[in-house]
Structure 1
Amino acid sequence: MTLCISWVRQVGSVTEMIVASDSRLSGGQFWDANPKILMLPRSDAVLTFAGSTNDAYPLMLMADNSIRMHQPAYTRSMDLSDLKGHLVRVFNHSRKFITGLPANQLEPDMPNVEFQLCGYSWKYKNFITWKLHFDKNKGIFTFRRSRAWGGQDPNSFKYVTYAGDEDVVDEAKKRLVEKLRSTGKIRSGSLDMEPFEVLRDLLREEKFSSIGGPIQMVKIYEHANAVPMGVFWPNKEAGVVSILGRPLMDYEKIPWGVIDPDDPSRAYPMEIEPCKTEDDASIE
């Protein structure tokens, strides 16, 4: 499945939301180059998923199309806090058109997927993540808002949300707590790139077969724009840059920064030539 982590990063006077995920799809095979973070066309938010691609990809494409076709959603006059309701209505409406059910089955199978809608709300002047999930008791998609950590010092703020397999998420939560405790930040301070480091370590260890591939990462800024970041993977020395989960081919360039996974607090310009990953025939 997936491990996706979204959090608010505060360093000095800079506050931004970061969304990061693995890139593995599985189902009889591993495909480690797939987008799990969808850049929405309104540019102030992203949509991520964890679960079955049979459910996730159609709904994500419907979400994208519904924003493009509905002017308030596209122009951002509809705030992010109202967009989440629009997307839930789109998801529930689209499921009414599932037909051809097996004999004696009256309702479609429950979707095995959850989404995170992450972005900047101009109404609340803050970064917010909503989880869009299927309520099996009500038989519909609904939402809940993520909350900041409690038990923090007055000047401390920590906001982090997870999506993915329960065992992987539990391990990620435990490691983040251990990392913050070891640096004296469990009750004070704010998050920097610690969640990124947790995701990086879990991917490198290959302990969980449900996650894999390069880290994909998007930053959302207070000026309400989302920007995808390149990531050197598996490390900077290898010279291979991945963007939104896919390793770039040798002739591809990106205008955004590239993160060294072992020094994720800074981004490099795309000046280093990425290495070829395969000896494919050129297409001209």
Structure 2
Amino acid sequence: MTINICWLSSTSSGQAISLITDSRLSGGEMRFDECRKLFSLPRGDCLISFSGTTDIAYTLINQAISTVQTSRQSQSRYQDITELKGQLLNEISSLVSKIHIYFPNNDCGLKDIEIILAGYSWKNSRFEAWRIRSQAMTTPSHAIQNIKEKSVHYYHPDPLLCTFVADQKYFDNAQLIVTGTKDEANKVRSELYKRRRNSSSTEWEWGNEPIKVMRDILLSAHFKHDLETTSAGALQYMRVFKHGSTEMNAVLWPDNKDYWSPTICGRFVNQSENFDAPLFDPRICRVIQVPYYKNSLNNNSDYYDSIQKNQSVL
């Protein structure tokens, strides 16, 4: 499972739609804290992320990426994101309807899968986001078709449905999207809206508040060595701007020795690896290093040593 937060923020380059998530994949007795969960579709103006059962959700995300890769209209952005949403919804729904389930009361975790697609619509000149989830969330009897294959009965689940749309008006009203396990998502929403209520500002903007809330949750799991929670690992952070470009941030995060090191898409970079991404420090919520050709840990050991004592958040 995963916590995803999507909101509209103001930057020095204008407004941007932001998306953050954690980096833990969990299943059975396995915990893997360096896994990518946030993706830029290969057209540059939209992001996609997921929460829920990994073995199914990862496949759906990969097929969504493949759909864009094999469409010239989509890659060139001739196809607007609003039209892409419909195409992806059809593709994903078709895939889900073909999953074979042994027992009618077993949804294989489909009801927990939620996908966020967010970006900028040139056709409507506004930011838009969609939360896509299974009809099993609202329809208890999701096994709609029974077939017989090799003397074994299988069930096909209901397809995923687009159940929520967030447009510019929604975001302008200082709303946001939070997905994940019910308890964890409610905890995040509660904390975020508590901060909003306690603000004295008459024109509330989320700013970095979602990052701070997510940061505190993930750092707490890290320092407590919590292997029970489904949300852990480094924070992943990407944005889409009005001019139709995405920005992926490298995020500073404590490793297993509590040394704050750069991560990309949840993965700690190698000692000799140079990376072409702004380095974001979640402790102070700002970019502390712009990309340059020698920014690896080996090349900048003195710099990384110097920032270990940056403002603590716990």
Query: Match for 2:194 among 178, 181, 187?
Result: 178
Contiguous gaps of at least 5 residues in structure 1: 277-284
1:242 and 2:263 equivalent? yes
Q: How far 1:106 sits from its partner (Å)?
A: 11
Map of 1:255 onto structure 2? 276
In structure 2, list runs of 5 or more residues that go unmatched: 143-157, 300-314
Structure 1 residue 170, shift from structure 2 partner? 0.9
User: Partners of 1:29 and 1:178 in 2: how far apart?
Assistant: 34
Q: Paired residue for 1:213, among 222, 230, 233?
A: 233
TM-superposed deviation, 1:124: 1.6
Q: Structure 1 segments of 4 or more deviating over 3 A?
A: 95-99, 104-110, 147-150, 270-273
User: What's the Cα RMSD here?
Assistant: 2.8
1:200 aligns with 2:200: no
Are residues 1:117 and 2:130 paired?
no
Q: Following TM superposition, by how much is the alpha carbon of 1:79 offset from its aligned partner in structure 2, in angstroms?
A: 0.9
* Residue correspondence of structure 1 range 53-132 to structure 2 within 5 A: 53-99=54-100, 101-102=101-102, 109=108, 111=110, 112-132=112-132
Residue 55 of structure 1 deviates from its aligned partner by: 1.1
- Asked if 2 retains the 8 angstrom alpha-carbon contact of 1:3 and 1:50, the reply is yes
Q: Determine which of 276, 284, 297 is the counterpart of 1:274.
A: 297
| Identity value in percent | 23
Change (3 A) 1:121 1:148: closer
Return the letter of the residue paired with 1:57. Answer: Y
Contact 2:191 2:213 in 1 (8 A): yes
Is the Cα contact below 8 Å between 2:275 and 2:296 reproduced in 1? no
Cα distance in 1, alignment partners of residues 167 and 186 from structure 2: 17
Q: Post-superposition shift, 1:209?
A: 1.1
Question: Per-residue displacement from partner, 1:14-57 (whole Å, max 9, x unpaired)?
Answer: 21111110100111121100011012101111110000011101
| 1:127 counterpart SS class | strand
Partner of residue 141, structure 1: 160
Please tell me whether the aligned partners of residues 9 and 15 of structure 1 are also in contact (alpha carbons under 8 angstroms). Answer: yes
Alpha-carbon deviations, 1:117-149, whole Å to 9, x = none?
A: 011111121111101111123722111202678
- Correspondence for 1:5: 5
**TM-score w.r.t. structure 2 length?**
0.77
Q: Which deviates further from its counterpart, 166-175 or 132-141? A: 132-141
- Greater C-alpha Rg: 2
Structure 1 pair 239–107 and aligned structure 2 pair: CA distance change class (3 A): closer
Partner of 2:176: 160
Partner secondary structure for residue 91 of structure 1: helix
Match of 1:274, as an amino acid?
A: L
- Which is further off, 205-214 or 34-43? 205-214
Query: CA separation in 2, counterparts of 1:13 and 1:233?
Result: 26
> 2:168, 2:187 → 1: CA distance?
19
CA–CA distance in structure 2, aligned partners of residues 36 and 192 of structure 1: 22
The alpha-carbon deviation at position 267 of structure 1 amounts to 4.5
- The number of residues matched between the two structures is 268
Cα drift, residue 110 of structure 1: 6.5
Residues 39 and 46, structure 1, Cα contact 8 Å, conserved in 2: yes
Higher mean alpha-carbon deviation, 28-37 vs 261-270, is at 261-270
